[in-house]
A and B are shown apart, each in its own frame.
Chain A
Amino acid sequence: MKSLEDLKRIREQAQAQIRLRTQEANTKIIVGMGTCGIAAGARETLMAILDELAKRNIQDVVVTQTGCVGLCEYEPLVNVVKPGQPKITYMKVTPERARQIIASHIVNDQVINEWVLSTEEGV
Chain B
Amino acid sequence: MMEELSLHILDIVENSINAKATKVDIEIDVDKRENLVIIKVTDNGKGMDDKTLENVRDPFFTTKTTRKVGLGVSFLDEIAELTGGSLDIESNLGIGTTIQLKLPFDHPDRPPLGDIISTLITLLATNPQVWIIYRETRNGKTWEFDSKEVEGLLGDYTWLGKIKEVLYNSYKEFTGGELI
A interface residues, Cβ below 8 angstroms from B? 1-4, 6-8, 10-11, 14, 17-22, 31, 33-36, 38-39, 43-44, 46-47, 50-51, 53-54, 57-58, 62-65, 67-70, 72
Contacts and interface: CB of A to CB of B under 8 A. Distances in A.
B101 to A, nearest CB: 15
Interface string B166-180: 110111011000000
Contact of B7 (A6, A39, A51, A53): A39
B121 A10 contact: no
Nearest to A64: B126
A70 to B, nearest CB: 4
Given A21-B156, A58-B157, A63-B125, 11 more contacts: A1-B144, A2-B173, A10-B166, A11-B150, A18-B153, A33-B10, A39-B2, A47-B122, A50-B161, A68-B64, A68-B66
Contact of B10 (A2, A3, A38): A38
Interface residues of B, number: 46
Contact of A20 (B67, B121, B127, B155): B155
Given A31-B126, A64-B126, A11 B155 contact: no
Contacts of B70: 35
A62 to B, nearest CB: 8
Give the dominant DSSP class at A's interface: helix
Contact of B170 (A3, A31, A36): A3
B149 interface: yes
B143 to A, nearest CB: 6
B118 A19 contact: no
Contact of B118 (A17, A47, A62): A47
Contacts of A46: 122, 125-126
Contact of B155 (A21, A36, A58, A69): A21
B68 to A, nearest CB: 9
23 contacts: A1-B144, A11-B149, A11-B152, A14-B159, A19-B155, A19-B156, A21-B157, A33-B122, A35-B11, A36-B71, A38-B2, A39-B1, A43-B10, A44-B118, A46-B122, A46-B126, A50-B121, A50-B125, A54-B158, A58-B157, A62-B155, A67-B18, A70-B67
Contacts of A53: 157
